[in-house]
Structure 1
Amino acid sequence: MQVTKTVEATRSLVKQWKREGKTIGLVPTMGFLHEGHASLIRKCREENDIVVVSDFVNPTQFGPNEDLEAYPRDFERDCALCEKMGADLIFNPQPEEMYQDPCAYVSIHTLSDTLCGKTRPIHFKGVCTVVSKLFHIAAPDKAYFGQKDAQQLAIIRKMVRDLNFDVEIVGCPIVREADGLAKSSRNTYLNDEERKAALCLSRAVKRGQEVIRTGCESEAVLKEMRAVIEAEPLARVDYVSVVDALTMQPVERVEKDVLVAMAVYIGVIIGCIAQYTVMPLAA
């Protein structure tokens, strides 16, 4: 497994692999990798000749009061996981390698106006910009993203269609802990009491699935899910919403597959733990 720190070195390797006729898969990450990331790398390994993992905490998607400096980092651990999963290359640039007095950014409208985008107005501009850059640098045939960040996945797919990127976007299922909590790098912020309290999220998902099976008004789902979360004293709801899984716009009645998304603060951690689920109607 190789490690590159510069755009030039990464492009040089990619061009060599392309000349050899090899297919390239990209797994974009912000590091501090866990089993959720491992599942993306594993899927990428199955479907491509070359696996490239980007390991970069992207500053442009963090707001002024968000946790950029506190975001967990452990590059040696990341390398060990990537090598175990069969990655061929880790691209690990510094911020100054990716951004030199930038004036050009990639923004997306409508899809970024709801859910996490409502309270984090610059977040998805940063995400779209860095992902666009990674697509240009690594020139992947396929790129792999987790369904846990469902709004991000929908936005990336729309950006790829609108800007004619020649890359296939592959969404991969949520990976959860044994007790149901979705795996997240930010879970490390939680102390033991907060970690236990965070289970209200998976309980709320389960309750929402029970309510939604036969079709209902969206408000009925939200009421039941909020009740589960608000019963936990350490939890504070940022949002719980029922939206169209493609447009990210609210829907009043559940009559087809929808995305039920929520972001919840647990205790006093900076940021939020977001857990998403696509809830299909029962046949």
Structure 2
Amino acid sequence: MFSYRHAFHAGNHADVIKHLTVIATLQHLQQKEGGITIVDTHAGAGLYRLDGDYSETGGEAKDGIFKLLSQLDAASAKKDAKPIPEALQAYLDMIASFNPNGQAKFYPGSPFILHAMLRKDARDKLRLFELHPTDSKALASNVAQLDAGRSIMIAREDGFESLKKLLPPPPSATGSKRAMVLMDPSYEIKSDYGKVAANIQDCLKRFATGTYLVWYPIIARPEAHDLPKRLRTLSNQSQKPWLNLTLSIGRNTDGSSAGLSASGMFVVNAPFTLKDKLREAMEVVGPALARGSGHSWAVEHS
């Protein structure tokens, strides 16, 4: 049950689209004054070394953040270089903030990205859940260095179950109730697909106005194929706007299909500005991360 460790995959192409979407979504939500309860149901360790033993084993950042940075550096050197889209620049700035020496040695997971985006007046609250014993301990240790005070709560609990007690969220100082939830389990256990759909359905019953983000792998498994369809159906039934971003980087140049090559981000109650911002960003990210044959990206929305 506990064999999955995100450290092996930190900074890969899936992280790029996941965190690109998370940042763009939260930036939009924070345009309003009311505080936000932010929940990460599968938080991981929070911060990862890209030159560490785990990430070196898989080397997945080579087809993710490292490749993206390299391609952008090459593009910026051209005379007809185009400006970097707003959402992509926000993502790049976030990564750079954890690497002040200019070299990408550290990759922030969702907990550290979300913490960095909390507004300084403590109106936003971050709730992190991680069940893996090693990652939960690492998360607590990493977050302790942030001196975050009461703005962050960490629990070694099942995020799917613990989420229920947080919705609806408590009212902010202005009386408004707002929430953003990120679900990105490993899907190592096949039942995770059904749990995600069931949790989104439950979330919409408990707090219909929340914004819910789901990362999912695109693999040859019926459950994986059906998940975005189920999320789309749940959104439509609840009359909530949705967005589905997918990225396939294509096959390895040697023709093999080893490792994850495609994934998606589904957003329920997606901000109306998100589709245009992500399309602009993906027009750069998609070609930059493409390899071999079969690469593609798409931004679908209600």
Both structures adopt the same fold (TM-score exceeding 0.5)? no
| Bigger Rg, structure 1 or 2 | 1
Give the alignment's TM-score, normalised by structure 2: 0.33
Higher-RCO chain (CA-CA 8 Å, sequence separation at least 6): 2
Give the alignment's TM-score, normalised by structure 1: 0.35
